[in-house]
Amino acid sequence: MPTTPTVLAIDLGGTTVKAGLVSGVGDVLYQNKLPTLPDKGPDVVIGQIEAALRDVMEKGAFPSLSAIGIGAPGVVDDAGVVKAPPNLKGWDEVHLAEELSERFPGFKVVVENDANVAAIAESKFGAGKQFSEFLFVIWGTGVGGGIILENKIFRGPSGGAGEIGHISIDHQGPACNCGSRGCIEAYIGQRYLSQRTVEKLNAGATSSLPDLVGGDLTKIEPVYLAQAAQAGDSFSKGVLVEAGTLLGVAIAAVMNTLDLRISIIGGGVSAAGDFVLEAIEESVRRHVLKPLRPGIRVLEATQGNAAGLLGAAGLVL
Amino acid sequence: MPTTPTVLAIDLGGTTVKAGLVSGVGDVLYQNKLPTLPDKGPDVVIGQIEAALRDVMEKGAFPSLSAIGIGAPGVVDDAGVVKAPPNLKGWDEVHLAEELSERFPGFKVVVENDANVAAIAESKFGAGKQFSEFLFVIWGTGVGGGIILENKIFRGPSGGAGEIGHISIDHQGPACNCGSRGCIEAYIGQRYLSQRTVEKLNAGATSSLPDLVGGDLTKIEPVYLAQAAQAGDSFSKGVLVEAGTLLGVAIAAVMNTLDLRISIIGGGVSAAGDFVLEAIEESVRRHVLKPLRPGIRVLEATQGNAAGLLGAAGLVL
């Protein structure tokens, strides 16, 4: 029997719904996984969430606290309304907290944006445990983030805080999907970074990357860049160092604005190796004001795939 | 007799020390001014502050609350230690709150950075009264700022928050004094903006500016740009619109990061005319994420020269 309180946690993704029983010290005592069925509309998806939770309560254990924490894509407002998550069909505005409160009477239900949830996971259980203030950055398909201030997530007035992917590092830079120019995401988000890599290869760069994707450059993704770099490919390493250096410029803007020193980097690309984190750190240090420099640190997130469940639990623990 | 509480306020500048008796509704009931004597070291400057305060208590009135609020240049930490204000000699670290507490026993003394103080003035008495969250920008010699969240100043972990002047809007842009590149201050701070203006004039631009400075282009300052623009000089107007557009890029980074919508612009240049504020606002709107756009507003600060005393009073009211 766990000696700390336990709660229910949901990690709602575009592909799978994960549910878990999580203890107050961050142990996932039981977990399961169901398909999200994202094309079938909110009712079906909420049904999957409910089924996953009921399974935990039957096969796992009933939580000691009547509380459910949920991480969801999209913008989540203070009332637990999920707005326009990119991968869920028909979710313009879904009052997820209310829906689950009705299905689980007596339970406290808290819903939060998934990047914020991952930031909370690092804050409570991961690389951020020792810091009361830091910026969490998720670098994968896009670039997102969460801001921890005084050990709590800073949501902003309407829950949209932490969108650091759309900080422009060059007002005349490449066009971004968001309508602005030079957003850091438009340099280092998965699609953009892959494109830039292919352009460089087409321009004649020497690399082991093409072999990794069987010669089909359209298959190039940051994960292969990481793999090739780890195997010693200096071209791939160079591309990632350049990307990290650019990310550092955007992070520095946040450090200067909020008087912060610590960044924790999660998402697929951050795992490529220490050289990427070092490139980010050096760049942040170069671009912040002098009084901040000695304290600048860029750390790797430690919670990986578990961050979704752990952070969701952290919402109600 | 005032029917609201009154406190003492100090606006410590590089040239003058202003002291005042301020009421809870933002009326300056009495004020005076002494030279700062910035070259004579902290003891002399603190003596001037004390003299100015004693004068208020004698000729003005004794405050109804035993409290002194002080706005000071430089970084100010939570304990009221002033660090390295650029225009005060020998002020590496001066414990100003402690010094004044000793001179005024029984008084609560709160010291805050001057940009933050101006932000507080706008929040309590000025253009920010109706907003619980906004970014205050001071655009003058340099570019600084203060962040108001939930009606309070956000100082950051060590009091340095709001340094938006060193957000880079082009990582390959012009070198800034701070060591970074492309900082917004390196485009629109007084010296940089004047330089850029002179360069354009030397390149043959037609303008009434040279007449305004008697043909001596080294005398060109943003205040003349504002004057010429108001008199219909389209070159000067263009320079200021361009500067405002660039400022908008940096402000947008803050809006995206903190989920904010409102900016309030103070400092000399902001008074040039509505067209500057409109240029900033249009640029902010263009560079923020879509959900923020409808709410974006850029307003002119209303407290001007009084902001220093009013905001200082706001620290202890």
pLDDT-derived band at B1, boundaries 50, 70, 90 = low
Mean model confidence pLDDT for chain A: 95
Closest-CA distance, A83 to chain B, in angstroms, reads 10
CA distances from A176 to A165, A204, B275 (A): 10, 26, 27
Closest-CA distance, B133 to chain A, in angstroms, reads 8
* Total beta-carbon pairs less than 8 A apart between chain A and chain B: 135
In chain B, the residue whose alpha carbon lies closest to the alpha carbon of A132 is B157
b/e per residue B254-293 (b: at least 16 CB within 10 A): bbbbbbbbbbbbbbbbbbbeeebbebbbbbbbbbbbebbe
**A171:B169 CB<8 A:** yes
Task: Give the residue carrying structure tokens 């603190």.
Answer: B46
The yes-or-no verdict on residue A106 having pLDDT over 70 is yes
pLDDT confidence of residue B273:
87
Residues in A closer than 8 angstroms to B160, CB to CB, are: 259, 289, 291-292
Mean model confidence pLDDT for chain B: 94
The yes-or-no verdict on residue A2 having pLDDT over 60 is no
Residues A211-245: pLDDT tens digits? 999 999 999 999 899 999 999 999 999 999 999 99
Closest-CA distance, A166 to chain B, in angstroms, reads 7
Q: DSSP character for B173? A: S
| Amino acid letter, B125 | F
pLDDT confidence of residue A259:
97
* Contact of B265 with B146, CB cutoff 8 Å: no
pTM above 0.80, yes or no: yes
Distance, in Å, from the CA atom of A71 to the CA atom of A127, rounded to the nearest integer, reads 19
Distance, in Å, from the CA atom of B239 to the CA atom of B287, rounded to the nearest integer, reads 20
Residues B39-85: pLDDT tens digits? 999 999 999 999 999 999 999 899 999 999 999 998 899 999 999 88
pLDDT confidence of residue A1:
52
> Which residue of A158, A250, A252 is in closest CB contact with B259?
A158
Residues A236-283: pLDDT tens digits? 999 999 999 999 999 999 999 999 999 999 988 877 889 999 999 999
Residues in B closer than 8 angstroms to A128, CB to CB, are: none
Q: Which residues pair with B35 in a beta bridge?
A: B16
pLDDT confidence of residue B58:
95
